[in-house]
Structure 1
Amino acid sequence: MLLLEAAGPESGALVETTVARGYEVHAVTGSDQLASYSTTLRTALSGCLPTDLSRPEHAIEDILRYARRVGADAVLTTNEYLTPLAAQVCAALELPGNDPALARAARSKAAMAEQFARCGVTTPHTRVLSHELELCRLVASGHLTFPCVLKPAEGAGSVGVRIVTSAEEAAAAFRAAQKGRGMYGMVLDPRVVIQELIEGVEYSVESITQSGRTTHLCVTRKMATRGARRVELGHGLPAVLPAELERAVYKQVDLAIAAVGIRNGASHTEVMLTPDTQCAVIEIGARIGAGYIGFLIRHALGIDPWAACLDTALGRPAHLSPTRADYATVRFLTAPHPGRLVAVAGLPDHGPQVPLVRLRRALGETVTGTVDNTGRLGSFVVVGPDRQRVDLDADHLLAQVQIHIEPFDPSSPAVDHCGSP
């Protein structure tokens, strides 16, 4: 199996599952990323190709040459930024994958909005702007209604996403959204997407599509902050919706999956349900849900999403029927304010009810406040048969965690989280 980027918990789980199934795993990563791989990950890999992922045309030549040399039977990625590249590689190797002509629409929110409109997906009213002057004209003409949502056309992890309530806030958010940087030094679409703000309850739908036929694994409830920045604080699944509403949600998700050309693989679709039970699709990713959603699926439903992704990539039937009927939730640890992480105490003990506890930031690192999903300090998962009890236990455990952040000294030079000036 050729894995486009092996770093991260989702990729790590996919590597572990694939190796356990008796397959070699070869990784592709950015030229400067290999040094960040742990010893455990390096040991699990049978080979690795560092390449310049900021130059897709060059990278695809390297990847195809390497894939043919090692005899890749499957190509996968869990990385948001690499899903279009994965579709191109699969097509060139004649392996199961997504439509390469539409794959960018699962990354670019500008292209996504265009495809959603073309295919009849119910979604917030969306505009795509290239210059701040266009924003000023919309405001002056009265055609921009506040509050609304501004987001980078090709961002990820809620970076640069902001709800604005005035022309002044919109102008500042527009400029901030254009400063986004992609992984691996990728050049991102500098345009800004402005969407109608839809208030309601946010969910996501986790799905596997095989040869164009989709199985929805579950609905996930999202827990997020309020205010200008809606940062995810946790997830819980499976969420239970009334049967008729669930069918309506799945209908919209099916349309979205088809609109962005997902034919073989996982998808993660974010939707908003309004108080009058209308469903609007916010966006979709051609990958398994991040934020430990794959782990929640495995613990709550007994479905191995990593094995399902591998089987789909190999062109084999995947086992997608639940073998458990539990509930699982994750809580994310966040910093109360920016500064230097001094201590974390009171983390729950690992055990049957808490099968996963992870810190992703080391003591001494510089951390941000709760501004986007990249600011998470760590997380833990709680599982059990009773949904209400599990959520209560998770909230109780979260309240026991003590995070000590040392504020910045304004007189000292700024240092990034890697310790480099």
Structure 2
Amino acid sequence: MQRFAQRTYIASGLRTPFGRGGGALADHDAISLSVPLVQAMAAQARPDLFVWGTVIPSLGWSNIGREIWLDAKLDPTVPAYSAVLACSTSMIAALTAAGMLGGDTDLVLVGGSEVMSNPPIGLTLEASKRIVKLFRTDPAEAFDALKALTPNDLVLPVKGWANRITGRTMGDHMEETAQIWNITREAQDEWSLKSHQRAVAGWESGFFDDLVISLPEISRDANPRADTSIEKLAALKPAFDKSGKGSITAGNSSPITDGAAACWVATEAGLARLPNGTHYAELVDHEIAAVDHSVDGLLMAPSFAIPRLLARHGLRYDDVALWEIHEAFAAQLLANVAALEKPGWTRDRAGVDFDFGDFPWDRLNPNGGSVAIGHPFAATGARDLSQAIKELWNMSAGSFAIVSICADGGHGTVALLRRP
């Protein structure tokens, strides 16, 4: 089955180093952090369209894509718009761009950025209405009212970007899911250690050298820890559920991170405009799933999307040479794969009656994932896609890859790539 009318490709792009929250990149906002990256990408080729996203909103802009493009002093005749789908933001940018190829559009630059260090502070609706009304009638009194604001009038990110519907953080939700799926603290810490070891090894081997630009503040990812160990991870206290049952810690969760990432979406004609040696893969198909998070868990949609996507193409798990699964939490990755492996799950819950076989754990996130590298919300999709494409390029022609990202709100986006 071929989803697109013409062959569609994703080519690996560049990203900034990912900085720790409050660290080297904390003086930026999502626009200023993106500008040098977008300039570096545009130096490779002029896109026909630019699509960008950020998850944490700001009153300072409405179309961040256009703002970045113009701040970068690039060709103003290139259209630019914004996309957002929580942690899948730059992947959904790529997927929507793929659907817009054709006519005069052969090459699209997509990506996303997040400076989690600097979330904006807003006003509650009631406080905002009160202040705005005063500015219309009595500006002096409005300024006095601003001075008199209390914490109850402010919208603060003190709950770690909690889900608006439930009022609970992703970590709170994941604790519940981890307990339902019996994901142990030991298993989470073991996966976290692997993620750090693989990310550190990737940097030492030079794997990331042509994927990451250097910035004046930082030239290498700040989050991967070469000195971590099972003992150090085991010593950390639960960060969300402190009742004694909690298992999710700062060590087995993706950290607060600042960063930006980009990639290309292209037709064959668009690929020809990119520099020689650019890694690329065919975008064979994709699946976007949404679940009732009160039933299945906030971050479990990939376990629905993956089997539906593979079954359409008659692929078993071991037919996929590479699995790049976003690690919002080690428990989230482990729970989704546990669902894929559970007898009857894909049939009874995902609605796919197909024998997928055993899951190939040895093909999963070979150069580390978000637990170690970091997770600037809107940048993760492009980071995952570019990383997977480079990994896939070292495999034989025809090899498949799955790139999967969970997202707040009960969403999951999954892409099926093939090495030409």
TM-score, with normalisation over the residues of structure 2?
0.27
| Structure (1/2) with the larger helix percentage | 2
| Structure (1/2) with the larger strand percentage | 1
- Structure showing greater relative contact order (alpha-carbon pairs closer than 8 Å, 6 or more residues apart): 2
